[in-house]
Amino acid sequence: MKIGLGLWTMRSTAAFPAAWPTLYEQLRTDSQLAESLGFHSLWIAEHHFWYDGWTPAPLVAAASALAATSTLHVGTGIHLLPLYERDAVATQLCALHRLSGGRLEHGVGLGYRASEYDGYGVSRRVRGKRMDAALERLAELGNAAPPAWVGGFAAAAVQRAGRLGLGIMLPSTLKPDQLRVAIQEARAAADDAGRTVRIGVMKYAWATDGSDRQHDWAVEMLGRFTREYSGAWFPLKGRPGFESPELLEGQMRRSADTALIGPAEYLVAELDALADAGAELCVLHLVGDGRLPERHEAMTRISESVLPSLGQAVAA
């Protein structure tokens, strides 16, 4: 199983404000570190119309990271493909795929925020049709386009990935039984279409030194991220999380319960279990915008103590 790192959001938050040149410099530095540590890939998020910026141009950010590296794959997690005109974005993707030597991993998703579709003048009611049309256009281009990963857990996303013979990128908060069911459904859809499907999964993660202090710190940091993200962005039963405190707290507990937070031996065991379940790629979601020393320390610990046990080649 290949191991990637994510999600680089390039956010300028109230707690950690930063200008765009600084954020791009940090992205390039982190990409070079990930490459030197032997990781397969680094993944970049996309969102729009929020105060913190949140990588509104993921292909531009991906191009910057790819230009700063030579072997690292760079993925979008997730490129909101239905927002864009399909032929224009296909041209951009093919150019970046070619110029990077095939190192672009194209993760796509429908998104869920009405304000993003409103801002682009696109109705959310047609997002599924626009996604299918864009993916079919990319499929027509064959090897000229980068490999696609369909993000999500809904039946439509799982079946779309299998039907088109793409990859499925499953979300971090799935429990083991949910993960197995999603993989089975994706493979069944692929079999019905005479295709194969690649299996990827994201997991909130943090490598600790084994102490309770570091574990509690990582859980608390994840909680702060989850509270802001789910509270402001993610609809819980149709309402923003901040309007549903009990549901928001439940989402935070779910994120913590399904996260991979612990010492190297714990991460190895959990990642081995994901591989046994069928995952071919795991993107370890290291939260912590603005906390570069701590994030770099976690990246290094995973490289030195986890990757060798998974058969990952660590670069010199």
Where do the structural domains in the chain lie, given as residue ranges? 2-310
Task: Output the CA torsion sign for 61, 62, 67, 69.
Answer: positive
Would you say 189 and 154 are in contact if contact means Cβ atoms under 8 Å apart?
Answer: no
Q: Which two tokens stand for residue 120?
A: 């682009």
User: Which pLDDT score is estimated for 61?
Assistant: 97
104 by DSSP, 3-state: which?
strand
| 14: DSSP letter | S
Q: Does residue 46 contact residue 29 with C-beta atoms inside 8 Å?
A: no
Rounded to the nearest integer, the mean pLDDT of the chain is: 91
* Per-residue model confidence as pLDDT tens digits over 64-75: 999 999 999 999
pLDDT score recorded for residue 313? 42
Instruction: Report CA-CA distances (Å) from 183 to 54, 168, 177.
Output: 30, 8, 10
pLDDT of residue 311: 60
pLDDT > 70: percent of the chain: 96
Q: What is the CA radius of gyration of the chain?
A: 18
Least confident segment among 77-91, 117-131, 213-227 = 213-227
Residue 78: asked if its preceding bond is cis (omega within 30°), the reply is yes
144 DSSP β-pair partners? none
Residue type, 259: A
pLDDT at position 158: 95
Q: Is the pLDDT of residue 227 over 80?
A: no
pLDDT digits (tens, 9 = 90+) for 132-148: 999 999 999 999 999 99
2-310 classified as CATH 3.30.1360.120: no
Look up residue 111 and give its amino acid. Answer: G
Dist. CA 149–CA 102, nearest whole Å = 15
The pLDDT confidence band at residue 35, using thresholds 50, 70 and 90, is very high
Closest residue by Cα to residue 42 from 95, 91, 2: 2
Assess whether pLDDT exceeds 50 at residue 77.
yes
